[in-house]
A and B are shown apart, each in its own frame.
Chain A
Amino acid sequence: MKEKNPKIIHITPIKEGTAIDHLKPGTALKILEVLNLQDVAVTAAMNVESRKMGRKDIIFIDGKKLNERELNKVALIGKGGTLNEIRNGKIVAKKQLAYPDRAEGIIKCINPKCITNTEPLPTKFSISGEPLSANCFYCQTRMKGNEIANSII
Chain B
Amino acid sequence: MSATRLVKSKTNSNFGLTDVVSINDFSRKDIEAVLAKAGQMEKTNVSKKQKILAGKTVASLFFEPSTRTRLSFETAIQNLGGKVIGFSEVGATSAKKGETLSDTIRMVSGYSDIIVMRHNIEGAARRAAEISKRPVINAGDGANQHPTQTLLDLYTIKKEFGKIDGISIGIVGDLKYGRTVHSLAYALALYSKVRLFCIAPESLKMPEQIIEDIEKKVQVRQTDRFEKFLPELDVLYSTRIQQERFPDPVEYEKVKNVYILNKSNLKNTKKNFRIMHPLPRVNEISTDIDDTPAALYFEQARNGIPVREAILALLSKVRK
Using a CB–CB distance below 8 Å, which chain A residues touch chain B? 102, 111, 113-116, 118-121, 124, 126, 136-142
Find out whether the CB atom of A120 lies under 8 angstroms from the CB atom of B100. Answer: yes
Q: Which of B101, B102, B123, B144 has the most CB of A within 10 A?
A: B123
What 7 A-B pairs are tightest by C-beta distance, nearest first?
A: A138-B123, A139-B123, A139-B122, A115-B123, A138-B126, A113-B122, A115-B127
Most chain A beta-carbon contacts within 10 A, residue among B121, B126, B145: B121
Number of A-B contacts (CB under 8 A): 50
**Which B residues lie within 8 Å of A139 (CB)?**
122-123, 126, 141-142, 144
Of chain B, the residue at the smallest CB distance from A115 is B123
Task: Give the chain B neighbours of A102 by CB distance below 8 A.
Answer: 1
* Chain A residues in 8 Å Cβ range of B124: 115
B12 on interface, CB distance cutoff 8 Å: no
Given contacts A119-B127, A137-B1, A140-B22, are A113 and B101 in contact (CB under 8 A)? no
Give every chain B residue within 8 A of A126 (Cβ-Cβ): 1
Asked whether B255 is an interface residue with its Cβ less than 8 Å from the other chain, the reply is no
Given known pairs A115-B122, A115-B124, A140-B24, the reply for A121 and B144 (CB within 8 Å) is no
A111 to B120, CA, bound (A): 13
Q: Complex formed: what's the CA distance from A115 to B121 in Å?
A: 6
**Is B209 part of the binding interface, using a Cβ–Cβ cutoff of 8 Å?**
yes
Judged by a CB distance under 8 angstroms, whether B143 is at the interface is yes
Q: Chain B residues with Cβ under 8 A from A138's Cβ? A: 122-123, 126-127
Which residues of chain B have C-beta atoms less than 8 A from A119's C-beta?
100-102, 127
* A111 nearest in chain B by CB position: B122
Which chain B positions have C-beta within 8 A of A118? 121
Mask, B1-40, CB within 8 Å of A = 1, is 1000000000000000000001010000000000000000
Docked Cα-Cα span, A97 to B209, in Å, equals 27
Most buried by B among A111, A114, A140: A140
Enumerate chain A residues within 8 angstroms of B123, measured Cβ to Cβ.
Answer: 114-116, 136-140
Chain A residues near B127: list those with CB within 8 A: 115, 119, 121, 138
Which residues from A are CB-within-8-Å of B141?
Answer: 139
Q: From A135, which residue of chain B is reached at the shortest CB distance?
A: B1
Contacts A115-B101, A119-B100; is A137 near B126 (CB within 8 Å)? Answer: yes
Q: How far is the CA of A112 from the CA of B124 in the complex (A)?
A: 13
CA distance A124 to B22 in the complex (A): 16
Q: Beyond A115-B126, A137-B1, list 16 extra A-B contacts (CB 8 Å).
A: A111-B122, A113-B121, A113-B122, A114-B122, A114-B123, A115-B124, A120-B100, A121-B102, A124-B1, A126-B1, A136-B123, A138-B122, A138-B126, A139-B122, A139-B141, A139-B142
